Structures are given as C-alpha cells and as structure tokens.
Amino acid sequence: VKRVLVTGASGFVGRHSLPLLIERGYEVHAVARGAIPAAAELRWHACDLLDDRAVGALLAEVRPSHLLHLAWYAVPGSFWSAPENLDWAAATLRLVRGFAAHGGRRLAAAGSCAEYDWSHARLAEATTPCTPRSLYGTAKNAVRACIEQVAARLGLSWAWGRLFFLYGPHEASGRLVSDVIAGLLAGRRVAVSEGTQRRDFLHVEDVARALVALLDGAFEGPLNVASGTVVPVRDIVARIGALTGRAELIDYGARPLPAGDPVELVGAVDRLTALGFRPRYDLEAGLAETVAWWRDRERA
Amino acid sequence: VKRVLVTGASGFVGRHSLPLLIERGYEVHAVARGAIPAAAELRWHACDLLDDRAVGALLAEVRPSHLLHLAWYAVPGSFWSAPENLDWAAATLRLVRGFAAHGGRRLAAAGSCAEYDWSHARLAEATTPCTPRSLYGTAKNAVRACIEQVAARLGLSWAWGRLFFLYGPHEASGRLVSDVIAGLLAGRRVAVSEGTQRRDFLHVEDVARALVALLDGAFEGPLNVASGTVVPVRDIVARIGALTGRAELIDYGARPLPAGDPVELVGAVDRLTALGFRPRYDLEAGLAETVAWWRDRERA
C-alpha cells in the first residue's frame, strides 16, 4: 500500500492535492495543526509540526511510505523575512529524519523559485546559482541542500518542486490575485503597481497535480513547477478587471513596485515537461475559474 | 554582566575556551550532555541540545547575553556524512531562535572550511563560493546562511568562525595527529598516506582564543580561523616521529589518499589578522606541546 503523509494539507496547495492522491490510490494521512474536517476518503491528524515529540508519535503511528511536505510559514508579506522560517527549516530537517527512521521511502516537498539568484531572469535547475536574497529562499534552499546530501544515506528517494507564482481558489487574502478579485467584487477601489514586472504564474490545481505526479514518480532532485511563460502583472490585473466587469476601479501605479524587485522571473520547464506534465489551465481559463469561485463564495 | 552559554563545552575546542572566557570576565555557563565536572569558576548545565524543551528551559533559566556555540556531531570519520548533521543543523537553528527570544545579543559559532568549494585551494570569506561537497559542510553552511539572513531581524550580532584543521591536547582518537602520537608512543607501527596533501593546521588553544576573541568583539559575519600557511601532512607526521623518537615505526603510503581529496587547502587570514589575532603556537612548538601532553597522560 502507498501510504502518504501530507503536511500543510489544509493549505493552498495541500487541499488541492488531496483528491489527486486519493485518485492515484494512496492511503492519505493529512496533517493539520488545528481543527480537522471530517472526511471519508482520508484520515486527518491534528499535529503541530514544530513539536518534535508530536511529530515522532505521528510518524510512529502512521508509518508513511510517502511524504508530501507542503507545510511552511506562509503568512502573506511577512513570510519573506519572518524568523519563523528558521523554525520550519528545523522542523523539516527533523521530519525528514523521522520519516526515514520510520520506514519512509519517497518524498516530494515544496521548494521555491526564491531559492535562485534573482539577478537571472530565466531560472533553470541545472545552471542558475542558488544564492537566495530572502530569508525564506535561504531557508528553503538550506533544507534542500541538506536533503540532497543525505537522501541516499537515509535510503530516501526525493523530489523538490520549486514553486513559482500561484493563484486560484482558496488563496489567502493579502496576495495579488486574491486581493484584486475580492476588492473588485466588493466594489472597492484597488491600488496596484504599474505592473510592469513579468512573472511566471501557474494555477494552484496544476501546481498540486505536478507535485502529486512528482511524488508518485521517480524523478530525483529539484524541478521547477512553473508554466514556462511570463506575463506582466498588469495583464493579470486587467484580465480580472474584465472578468469582474469592474476595470474602472483599478488604480494602476498607486503602489510603488517593491524596491529591487526583478523585472522578469520565469521558470525553465524542460525537466517538468520531460516528465510528461502539461498544465490544464492557461492564464485566461484559470483566472476565469478563480473569479467564478470567488463569486460563488460571495453568494454562499 | 556578560553571561555566556557555551555549547560543546566538554569538547575539543570547548574545554580550551572556558578559561579564556573566565579571564575575560564572563559569567560562564557550560553545557554538556552527560556527566558534569565540578568547577568553582563556572557553572555546568546538563542538557541534551537535541531536546527542544530542555534547551528552552535552560535558556529561560540562564538568559545568556552571549552564546558560544561549538556543539555539533563530531565522531571522527563518520561526521562527514552522518545523518546526525541534520539534527545538529535543526538544533542550531532553534537554539539561535531561543537565544534571541530570551534576550541574547551576541553569538559566535564554529563553522568549517568544509563550507567552501574545495576545488579552490585558497579559501577566502568574500570570494570563495560556498558550495560544499559533504553533508557536514552543507549543514554548517545551511545554518550559517540562515543566521546571516535572520540576525538583524532578531537583534543579534553574530560571528561565524570557520575552523580549518586542528590539533592539540584532548583531541579524540581517530584523527591524524592524535592517532599518530598515540600509536608511536605505544610503540605500534602507524600506517599513513604518502601525506602529499597540504593543509592549514592551527593549535586548538589558538582556535579557542580566536573564537573567544570573536565572541568578545564586534566583527559580523564569517571569518576563517586558520594559520594562513600550509604544510604537507607528511611533514606533520615526520615531526611527530622526530619528537617521539620513533620515526621508524611510520609506514608512509600504507594508506591511500582519500579519493577526491584536494591537494591543498589554506585559509585566507586577512580578516582574522585585521582583528589583531596572532597564533601563539607555530606548528613545531604546538606539536612538541601536544606530544608532551600525551606523554604526561600515559604516565598518569
């Protein structure tokens, strides 16, 4: 039996990954820190991943063969430089040790495009230096480097999906797409930057599909989970304006571009594509689906 | 009052650092995992640094203003690739967080020359890439990178002393200098490599003096703790042969050079020298003192 422990299971990517894992025949054990939704097809475990003893007890009970590790400190805005990044780096190193010690074999984890040196525009696994500028990127990269060195020794097979820019249903507020949609649907004016920066966006369901495929495959090492194409942030905002019919509420240039923010970031997707992965959503369809989800939510 | 918590206090470098800290007027709190020697001028604490709760309780009790973090997994030979490196990386990240949370201000920690890319011979803080080949070097570098990014945010001032090759009294068996001295003094034949590799050796007392000076100063960032000079390993072995009068027991070339071991490694000491540090021992005096210590130990 393939028995997977999913951390961050109630999070943005995590919740989208659960049905995909069930589809692939996994016995799914989902970890959340707080309240636990009832679910027939999977088992939820309440566990604070920062508590070593609780994690040890959980691993001893579940004895997962697979680990999909998505949990991290993710409060919008503050996650870039929050000291909690150290806690999650430490917790991840110990989780990996414990997973291996309890018979674990295969892990996939969420890395980040922030691990790369952002003075490069096209970020490629084999060639772009990993010299992160942020604490978040540094902590993710630190964990990745340690796992890379220890995996064989622990008898682990591992893949590290570097996530780029995500959007989709259930995104937390305080992020670009969620805030623009929620603001416009509520009829508020929305302040954004000029939006000249170009980014690589992928719908969260495609991100979850890629990570689940990675976990279920044999690829070893880091791999970009990205669309391979860039779009100016302004185009995304304008598309949401059109979809909501409230483009006139958008104040472009009312916010400054973040200081030092790179002009362009795009993920090389050669590795991902070679595994047979194709996104289901292009940006137009993905944003339409996301706006529809927010509309439904407002009605509910 | 300057109150310092010393981890790894019963270890090779730690035990040499304690009298130096007392001399400088610190209130010294020394941490050891096991049995605790009685001592009038300092306070010993039994604590397993891998146990978060025990560490939290210790920090709450001591509330150190300074931290000299020397503890790590250090079993000769196996430390290069042991999974315990993950435990110590995690424990160090959490220790730093807890230290800051309990009012800590200044930390110095033991890094390693293994953090550098060893395809370079002369290893310099500002210019040599930190792309370690070993798990040990990777884990140390991972911790250093995280501290570098988080220190200001935590209100911490920090220095990171990258240790090169050490020798001196109280060295564990299983290491070059200790094994050659112990073997020759016992009248055993000693198998060594050809010894053509050139390394940067520093007496452990000088290493401890440098780390204590770093802790007690204001230097920020990584800094090599090295002699700045290289010597072929063969010359060290031959010197021990002369000092013990048993050179004929040495079998040069009876062991292979470790595969992929670099020909030369030397630390740039511009930064260390600029702080006013000068080693007290040259290699000749240091080895003579070390051999004398082993002779005394045999008599005891």
pLDDT score for B196: 95
Whether the CB-CB separation of A24 and A212 falls below 8 Å is answered with yes
Interior/surface letters A14-46, b for 16+ CB within 10 angstroms, e for the rest: bbbbbebbeeeebbbbbbbbeebeeeeebebbe
CB contact under 8 A, A90 and B87: no
Q: Which of A72, A149, A161, A50 is nearest to A109 (CA)?
A: A161
Whether the CB-CB separation of A204 and A175 falls below 8 Å is answered with no
Confidence of residue A32 (pLDDT cuts 50, 70, 90): confident
pLDDT score for B69: 98
Find the range with the poorest average confidence among A199-203, A259-263, B46-50, B197-201.
A259-263
Backbone angles phi, psi at A185, to 5 degrees: -65, -30
CB contact under 8 A, B150 and A90: no
* CA–CA dist B291, B185 (Å, integer): 9
* CA–CA dist A138, A114 (Å, integer): 8
* For residue A102, pLDDT beyond 80: yes
The mean pLDDT of chain A is 96
pLDDT score for B38: 67
pLDDT score for B258: 82
**Angle subtended at Cα A96 by Cα A91 and Cα A99, rounded to the nearest 5 degrees:** 120
Model confidence over B139-150: pLDDT tens digits? 999 999 999 999
CB contact under 8 A, B145 and A138: yes
Scanning every residue of chain B, which has its alpha carbon at the shortest distance from the alpha carbon of A101?
Answer: B83
- List, in sequence order, the alpha helices (H) in B36-171: 52-62, 84-101, 135-150
Please give, rounded to a whole number of angstroms, the shortest distance from the CA of A142 to a CA of chain B: 5
Scanning every residue of chain A, which has its alpha carbon at the shortest distance from the alpha carbon of B81?
Answer: A150
Confidence of residue A259 (pLDDT cuts 50, 70, 90): confident
Backbone angles phi, psi at A253, to 5 degrees: 80, 0
Residues of A with CB under 8 A from a CB of B: 52, 81, 83, 85-87, 89-91, 93-94, 96-97, 100, 134-135, 138-139, 141-143, 145-146, 148-150, 153-154
pLDDT score for B1: 86
pLDDT score for B231: 97
- Predicted TM-score (pTM) of the model is 0.95
Query: Mean of the pLDDT values across residues B65-84?
Result: 96
Model confidence over A135-166: pLDDT tens digits? 999 999 999 999 999 999 999 999 999 999 99
For residue A83, give the nearest of B81, B83, B150 by CB distance: B150
For chains A and B, count residue pairs whose Cβ atoms are closer than 8 Å. 88
Q: Which of A287, A124, A145 is nearest to A205 (CA)?
A: A287
Mutate to test the interface with B, among A138, A143, A154 (most CBs of B within 10 A): A138
Helices (H) and strands (E) in chain B, counts: 9, 15
Q: The tokens 């490599």 sit on which residue?
A: B193
Q: Kindly state the helix (H) or strand (E) to which residue A177 belongs, with its residue range.
A: helix A176-185
CB contact under 8 A, A150 and B135: yes
CB contact under 8 A, A150 and B85: yes
* For residue A178, pLDDT beyond 70: yes
Whether the CB-CB separation of A161 and A110 falls below 8 Å is answered with yes
Give the distance from CA A203 to its chain's centroid. Answer: 10
* For residue A258, pLDDT beyond 90: no
Chain B residues touching residue A144 (CB < 8 angstroms): none
Q: Take residue B104 and report the two structure tokens written for it.
A: 């800590």
pLDDT score for B232: 97
Mutate to test the interface with A, among B72, B92, B150, B158 (most CBs of A within 10 A): B150
Please give, rounded to a whole number of angstroms, the shortest distance from the CA of B53 to a CA of chain A: 10
Confidence of residue B74 (pLDDT cuts 50, 70, 90): very high
For residue A93, give the nearest of B89, B97, B154 by CB distance: B89
Of chain A, the percentage scoring pLDDT greater than 90 comes to: 93
Confidence of residue B215 (pLDDT cuts 50, 70, 90): very high
Residues of B with CB under 8 A from a CB of A: 52, 81, 83, 85-87, 89-91, 93-94, 96-97, 100, 132, 134-135, 138-139, 141-143, 145-146, 148-150, 153-154
Chain B residues touching residue A49 (CB < 8 angstroms): none
Mutate to test the interface with B, among A99, A141, A149, A158 (most CBs of B within 10 A): A149
Amino acid at B74: A
Which residues on adjacent β-strands are paired with residue A191? A251
* For residue B175, pLDDT beyond 70: yes
* For residue B101, pLDDT beyond 70: yes
* For residue A33, pLDDT beyond 80: no
Please give, rounded to a whole number of angstroms, the shortest distance from the CA of B209 to a CA of chain A: 30
Chain A residues touching residue B135 (CB < 8 angstroms): 146, 149-150, 153
The mean pLDDT of chain B is 96
* For residue A274, pLDDT beyond 70: yes
Find the range with the poorest average confidence among A21-35, A204-218, B61-75, B90-104.
A21-35
Q: Which of B115, B151, B149 is nearest to B131 (CA)?
A: B115
Mutate to test the interface with A, among B49, B73, B93, B136 (most CBs of A within 10 A): B93
* For residue A38, pLDDT beyond 90: no
* For residue B152, pLDDT beyond 90: yes
Query: Mean of the pLDDT values across residues B71-78?
Result: 94
Query: Mean of the pLDDT values across residues B266-288?
Result: 97
For residue A138, give the nearest of B85, B138, B146 by CB distance: B146
Confidence of residue B243 (pLDDT cuts 50, 70, 90): very high
Chain B residues touching residue A89 (CB < 8 angstroms): 90, 93, 142, 146
